[in-house]
Structure 1
Amino acid sequence: MKQCSPDAVFCLPPLRGSDHANQNAHAKASQPATPVNFDIPPGACDCHTHIHADPEKFPFFTGRVYTPELASPEEMSALHKALHIERVVIVTPSVYGTDNSATLFGMKARGATARGVAVIDEKTPEADLDSMSQAGIRGIRLNLATGGVNDPNVGRPRFQAALERVKNRNWHVQLFTSLWMISAIKDLVAASPVPVVFDHFGGAQAELGVDQPGFSDLLALVKSGKAYVKISGAYRASKLAPDFPDAAPLARALIAANAERVVWGTDWPHPNSVTPPGNKPTDLTPLFQIDDGRLLNQLPVWAPDAAIRKTILVDNPARLYGF
Structure 2
Amino acid sequence: MARHAAPARSRAGRVSVLRRLTGVAAMNTTTVPSTPPHAQGQGGPAPVRYPGACDCHVHVFDDGTRYPWDASRNYTPAAATLDELLALHARIGVDRMVIVQPSPYGTDNRCTVAALERLGDAGRGVAVIDASTSDEDLRALHAAGVRGVRVNLETHGRHDPDYAQDCLFWAARRVAPLGWHVQAYTNLQTLSALMRPLADLPATLVVDHFGRAQAALGTAQPGFERLCDAMARGRVYVKLSAPYRISQDADYADAAAIARALIAANPDRVLWGSDWPHPGAAAGKPRPLDEITPFRAEDDARAMARALAWAGTPDVARKLLVDNAARLYEF
Fold in common (TM above 0.5): yes
Amino acid at match of 1:123: S
Q: Is the 8 A contact 1:189 1:227 kept in 2?
A: no
Candidates 167, 182, 186, aligned match of 1:177: 186
Candidates 224, 229, 245, aligned match of 1:220: 229
Candidates 262, 266, 269, aligned match of 2:270: 262
Shift in CA distance, 45/278, structure 1 to aligned 2, threshold 3 Å: closer
* Alpha-carbon distance between aligned partners in 1 of 2:220 and 2:172, rounded to the nearest angstrom: 30
Q: Is the 8 A contact 2:74 2:286 kept in 1?
A: no
Q: Is the 8 A contact 1:200 1:231 kept in 2?
A: yes
* Count of aligned pairs between the two proteins: 298
The 5 A counterparts of 1:272-287 are: 272-274=280-282, 280-287=288-295
Runs of 4+ in 1 over 6 A off after TM superposition: none
Calculate the aligned-residue CA RMSD, in Å. Answer: 1.7
Shift in CA distance, 75/308, structure 1 to aligned 2, threshold 3 Å: same
Q: Deviations over 1:26-61 (max 9, x none)?
A: 432322311134212100000000001131101010
- Provide the residue aligned with 1:298 in structure 2: 306
Q: Deviations over 1:88-124 (max 9, x none)?
A: 0000011111010111111122222000000001111
Candidates 312, 319, 323, aligned match of 2:327: 319
Deviation at 1:278, TM superposition (A): 11
Amino acid at match of 2:181: H
- Provide the residue aligned with 1:157 in structure 2: 166
Candidates 128, 132, 141, aligned match of 1:119: 128
* Alpha-carbon distance between aligned partners in 2 of 1:301 and 1:150, rounded to the nearest angstrom: 33
* Alpha-carbon distance between aligned partners in 1 of 2:286 and 2:181, rounded to the nearest angstrom: 38
The 5 A counterparts of 1:121-270 are: 121-241=130-250, 243-270=251-278
Q: Is the 8 A contact 2:74 2:287 kept in 1?
A: no
Q: Is the 8 A contact 1:27 1:287 kept in 2?
A: no
Candidates 54, 58, 69, aligned match of 2:63: 54
TM-score, length-normalised on structure 2?
0.87
Matched, 1:75 2:92: no
TM-score, length-normalised on structure 1?
0.89
Q: Is the 8 A contact 1:66 1:273 kept in 2?
A: yes
Query: Secondary structure in 2 aligned to 1:248?
Result: helix
- Provide the residue aligned with 1:12 in structure 2: none
Candidates 102, 108, 111, aligned match of 1:99: 108
* Alpha-carbon distance between aligned partners in 1 of 2:38 and 2:56, rounded to the nearest angstrom: 17
Shift in CA distance, 190/31, structure 1 to aligned 2, threshold 3 Å: same
* Alpha-carbon distance between aligned partners in 1 of 2:128 and 2:194, rounded to the nearest angstrom: 20
Q: Is the 8 A contact 1:29 1:75 kept in 2?
A: no
Q: Is the 8 A contact 1:179 1:202 kept in 2?
A: yes
Query: Secondary structure in 2 aligned to 1:284?
Result: coil
* Alpha-carbon distance between aligned partners in 2 of 1:124 and 1:134, rounded to the nearest angstrom: 15
Q: Is the 8 A contact 1:25 1:286 kept in 2?
A: no
Shift in CA distance, 179/56, structure 1 to aligned 2, threshold 3 Å: same
- Provide the residue aligned with 1:309 in structure 2: 317
Q: Is the 8 A contact 1:139 1:174 kept in 2?
A: yes
Please say which of residues 35-44 and 200-209 is displaced more in the overlay. 35-44
Gaps of 5+ in 2: 1-32
Please say which of residues 51-60 and 88-97 is displaced more in the overlay. 51-60
Q: Is the 8 A contact 2:161 2:190 kept in 1?
A: yes
Amino acid at match of 1:309: A
Please say which of residues 86-95 and 298-307 is displaced more in the overlay. 298-307
* Alpha-carbon distance between aligned partners in 2 of 1:38 and 1:304, rounded to the nearest angstrom: 13
* Alpha-carbon distance between aligned partners in 1 of 2:281 and 2:324, rounded to the nearest angstrom: 28
Query: Secondary structure in 1 aligned to 2:177?
Result: coil
Amino acid at match of 2:262: L
